Amino acid sequence: MKIPFSPPYIDEAVINEVVDSLRSGWITSGPKVKSLEEEIKTFSGAKEVLCVNSWTSGAIMMLRWLGVKEGDEVIVPAYTYSATALAVLHAGAKPVMVDSGKNFNISVEAIRNAITPRTKAIIPVDIAGFPCDYDQIMSMVQEPKIRGLFQVTSAVQKKLGRILVMNDAAHSLGAFYSKKQRTGCETDIAIFSLHAVKNVTTAEGGAICLNLPEPFNNEDLYKELRMTSLNCQTKDAFSKSKAGGWRYDIVGMGMKINMADVNAAIGLAQIREYPSLLKERKRVFETYDKAFTACDWAITPPSIDGEKESSYHIYALRIKDFTEELRDRMIDEIAKSEVAVNVHFIPMPMLSFFKSLGYDIKNYPQAYENFKGEISLPIYPQLNNEQLDFIIRTVKSAYNTIARDSIF
């Protein structure tokens, strides 16, 4: 039985919404993008939401807006997808990598130890869709001692007066960080990814949630950033296309990272169905949990802790006491049954580019520990019980094969 890892969720509603955009005569940024922004705003409780063409480009734009410069530091976890750190480098600052906890998420103590007068932002990552400890992180950046360290070098930094918290919520659209509140409004800025493999997708895309404190005005900021995402052009193509609306100005050096309506249409249809799709993801997650908590060799991933609840984006199974090599062999064994699995994530300090910059995995023991026995299982609404049984049987028998063949 062939099981793909993460096919997109495309039903008739999605197709109809895309066709509607195609037939409308307007395919780039316009009414569909606006509707998607409104849907995400209502869903997440964020004050304002701006859609762009990827998480990565959105993060670069926000760090540039913050005014980071060479020598400035942005704290990120070593255990994440590389975009988190690459965005920092593109914006001209230095990613300061810190270790994670056993639950995969960035360690709050490690963040505290990494703060210096050059720290301008922290980018925690909701790994697999499980929210970080935002109460702790947000109160930490407001401690008088930490505020006192903060060195202002831009107008935005002066207005904020402290370290910015911008979470990488690429995985966590739909997660709860408190009983009634979903992710998207727990930090100054949260960015969702709408990439093809994410829970809600626009093929490629990102959604920037703005929740800046007073004296910022999020509505004004939305307008400013929307323009920045369109080359800092005072009129978008939609308004310019109207008769007599031709004149515009360029008021700064913007980026060209707007989302197109054809893309937004996919996400628009998906987010309307998302509450029921989330339930299906949870069903898959719980089926795995039930099967693997019974195995003494398996470590099941976090899903609910107090008021926090995952968006069930990745099922990050870990095999106890396995070395990297045994884990890799187990994946090869699983692949023989045509079940596609993955590893989330190879810690950045293990990748060539980051090694060449001097990062060393030895400094991130928990990140390595989380990685070495990790296998991500397929998780998406379309998986039925028969497929799930097959995946579970395949994983268990692959473990038995590898464990039997090796003394460890």
Ligand X SMILES: *Cc1c(COP(=O)(O)O)cnc(C)c1O
203-258-162 Cα angle (round to 5): 105
The nearer residue to ligand X, 83 or 266, going by C-beta atoms, is 83
- Measured CA to CA, the distance from residue 171 to residue 130 in angstroms comes to 8
Nearest CA to 44 among 275, 314, 203, 381? 275
Cα→Cα distances 293→48, 290, 296, 403, Å: 40, 6, 7, 18
Q: Rounded to the nearest whole angstrom, what is the least distance from the CB of residue 12 to ligand X in the complex?
A: 26
Q: Rounded to the nearest whole angstrom, what is the least distance from the CB of residue 195 to ligand X in the complex?
A: 4
The nearer residue to ligand X, 85 or 291, going by C-beta atoms, is 85
Q: Rounded to the nearest whole angstrom, what is the least distance from the CB of residue 203 to ligand X in the complex?
A: 10
The nearer residue to ligand X, 206 or 302, going by C-beta atoms, is 206
Q: Rounded to the nearest whole angstrom, what is the least distance from the CB of residue 9 to ligand X in the complex?
A: 16
Q: Rounded to the nearest whole angstrom, what is the least distance from the CB of residue 198 to ligand X in the complex?
A: 6
Task: List contacts with ligand X (CB under 6 A).
Answer: 54-56, 80-81, 83-84, 125, 168, 170-171, 193, 195, 206
- Measured CA to CA, the distance from residue 139 to residue 133 in angstroms comes to 10
* DSSP state string for 131-175: ---HHHHHHHHHSHHHHHH----SHHHHHH-S-EEEEE-TT-TT-
Nearest CA to 327 among 404, 398, 379, 407? 398
The nearer residue to ligand X, 108 or 125, going by C-beta atoms, is 125
Cβ contacts of residue 344 below 8 Å, gap of 6+? 81, 127, 128, 314, 316, 374, 376
Q: Rounded to the nearest whole angstrom, what is the least distance from the CB of residue 37 to ligand X in the complex?
A: 16
Which one from 32, 47, 120, 198 is the annotated catalytic residue?
Answer: 198
- Measured CA to CA, the distance from residue 161 to residue 258 in angstroms comes to 29
Q: Rounded to the nearest whole angstrom, what is the least distance from the CB of residue 404 to ligand X in the complex?
A: 34
The question of whether 198 is a catalytic residue gets the answer: yes
Cα→Cα distances 196→34, 201, 206, 267, Å: 20, 5, 11, 10
Cα→Cα distances 163→48, 139, 142, 177, 214, Å: 20, 11, 8, 21, 15
The nearer residue to ligand X, 68 or 200, going by C-beta atoms, is 200
Distance of CA 306 to the CA centre of its chain: 22
The nearer residue to ligand X, 93 or 398, going by C-beta atoms, is 93
The nearer residue to ligand X, 44 or 84, going by C-beta atoms, is 84
- Measured CA to CA, the distance from residue 300 to residue 104 in angstroms comes to 12
CB 85 within 8 A of CB 97: yes
The count of other CB atoms within 10 Å of the CB of residue 114 is: 17
The nearer residue to ligand X, 118 or 195, going by C-beta atoms, is 195
152-234-58 Cα angle (round to 5): 50
Q: Which residue is nearest to ligand X (CB)?
A: 55
Query: How many helices and strands in the chain, by DSSP H and E?
Result: 15, 12
Helix (H) or strand (E) holding 304: strand 304-305
Q: Rounded to the nearest whole angstrom, what is the least distance from the CB of residue 25 to ligand X in the complex?
A: 28
* Residue 283 CB burial class (10 angstroms; 0-12, 13-18, ≥19): middle
Structure token pair of residue 13? 């509603």
> Which sequence positions are flagged as catalytic?
198
